[in-house]
A and B are shown apart, each in its own frame.
Chain A
Amino acid sequence: MAAIEWGFSINRPRVIDVDRNNLRKSDEILLEMPELQSCIGCGACTASCTAGNLTNFNFRKVHTLVRRGEYQGAYEEMNKCMLCGKCRLLCPRGINTRGVVMLIKRKLGDF
């Protein structure tokens, strides 16, 4: 299937199919960083994001998708982060955001 890379995909389903997604990596990530579950999606991280100011990088969205088992492209997205740490200063839930970036990259590096 993946032998030919078209550069775009027309039939990638829009629905997040949690039944079909393999949640193993997501579970591993949450096991190491349970506090990530406490995200209430306020978006303060993304609003302040130094990288997000210059690109379409959206930390909140990427880690939320990863938690739903949508790993495709997450590693590449997380690589846009500069690890500057602004988001960690803002997160009202006290999530170790820089640790989350490193963790997701480590777990999904081979995707």
Chain B
Amino acid sequence: MERVIVIGGGIAGMKTALDLNRRGIGVTIIEKENRLGGKVLGWHRLFPTFTPANEVVDTLKAEVASSEIDVRLGTCATALTEHSVTLSDGTVLDCDAVVLCSGFTLFDARIKEEYGYGIYDNVITSADLEEMFNQGRVGLKNGGRPRRIAFLHCVGSRDEKVCQRHCSKVCCVTGVKQAIEMKKLFPEADVFNFYMDIRMFGPGYEELYREAQQSYNIHFIRGRISEASPTIEGRLQIKAEDTLTGRPLKISVDMLVLLIGMRSNDDNASLAESAGLQLAQSGFMAPRDLFLSNVRSNRDGIFYAGTVTAPKSIGEVLNEGAAVADAVTEYLS
């Protein structure tokens, strides 16, 4: 029986493995964490429908568990070719094809020091907020209820200063979704979203944006925050330019949420080198082309699915899992 190794046990990896397994192909998943699920495990509800994230992950996990997929947890791939994958403990697994589903890395918001993440108590990231939602403990560090909340878009995306030129695609709609969720939790609070551009590319996104404005009275301010600093009352003062009026703007808030972007994994470069794969300028893997071979790498027998090639929404990632299974089947026959 042919064997395919899927590197990464997030939603892309699980979907790929399931679709291959269904066609009678032997699959091994390699996951560096001690559980399957990847980043989506940390999310609470998914845009634009507020579907609980665990509905998606748990379904996939249950399907994997009841299948014959070989799952190896707590180990990662350090090198690969189309016929083998080397694990961090030195073992070499042989195979007939490899699908790289190793996903992305969240931007480290501490690098944008001027926003005060890791310095001031109530500066958090969008990922932190999802975790708070999951734990059911949303609020200020001192347990208080925020009266004013600011979201900042494009943290670690479209920013030459942190060497992340690309758009992370999903933060805009995440910001709108989270703003609505906060407004639902704290109806008395004012919510401000600071943005450079709002990119609502998917089905239902634009509607969600309009809903945030019309039904939830969320304020959208076109301007990038330049600095956050503490006030004497323990709040945060943020500075931006309200570019639509052309005047500098100052506002004190209780909580600042940074919508952090998706960046490429640090080990993409070494994996690419080991297998002779091409990297995009952004550091993500470059697929053979963006149209008919968008799940194929430049080398036969090595495939991609999910955010290893670029930031994508969950729906797109799952589609790629299905598409790559098809491409691998065609390759193996």
**Residues of chain A having any CB pair with chain B under 8 Å:** 40-49, 52-53, 56, 58, 60-61, 86, 89-94
Contact = CB atoms under 8 A, between A and B. Distances in A.
A61 B161 CA distance: 22
A20 B304 CA distance: 54
Interface residues of B, number: 23
List 8 A-B pairs, minimum CB-CB distance, nearest first.
Answer: A43-B241, A94-B160, A47-B226, A48-B226, A42-B224, A46-B241, A43-B243, A43-B223
A94 B154 CA distance: 15
Interface string B188-203: 0000000011000000
A45 B227 CA distance: 11
Contact of A40 (B197, B248, B249): B197
Contacts of B224: 42-44, 47, 90, 92
Contact of B239 (A47, A89, A93, A94): A47
Contacts of B160: 91-94
Interface in B154-177: 154, 158-161
Interface of B: 114, 154, 158-161, 196-197, 222-227, 239-243, 246-249
Given A49-B248, A58-B248, A90-B226, 4 more contacts: A46-B241, A47-B241, A58-B246, A60-B246
A43 B225 CA distance: 8
Contacts of B239: 47-48
Interface centre among A58, A89, A92 (most CB of B within 10 A): A92
Contacts of B196: 40-42, 92
B223 A91 contact: no
Contacts of B242: 43
A41 B161 contact: no
B224 to A, nearest CB: 4
A30 to B, nearest CB: 19
B315 to A, nearest CB: 28
Contacts of B225: 44, 47
6 contacts: A40-B197, A42-B243, A43-B224, A90-B161, A92-B161, A94-B161
